[in-house]
Amino acid sequence: AQSVTQLGSHVSVSEGALVLLRCNYSSSVPPYLFWYVQYPNQGLQLLLKYTTGATLVKGINGFEAEFKKSETSFHLTKPSAHMSDAAEYFCAVTGGNQGGKLIFGQGTELSVKP
């Protein structure tokens, strides 16, 4: 079975500050990991994904995440927050014989203060 835990349902940062959203996963098979962003009344948009290879993954809008197998983590970071980054962020895992079945965390709402 696979699962995802996102630490902190709400994170608030100041504009220009570092963004760090935490994600830990559980998987009995090599995982594929994803970060999605959801703006109000919109669908989810892929930020980045880890499948194989390089463990530091760069995505859109300046976000990146690092796969750390020893820590079973896939934390999302951005060096400098912008007001437009305010949204809900979801970490998801799949792999093995799950096909395309994504298992999502409960989400982290990011607020950015001026």
Give residues in contact with other proteins (CB under 8 A). Answer: 4, 9, 32, 36, 41-46, 49, 51, 90, 92, 94-96, 98-102, 104-107
Question: Would you say 97 or 114 has its CB closer to other proteins?
Answer: 97
Question: Would you say 45 or 55 has its CB closer to other proteins?
Answer: 45
Question: Would you say 15 or 58 has its CB closer to other proteins?
Answer: 58
Q: How far apart are CA 50 and CA 43, in angstroms?
A: 21
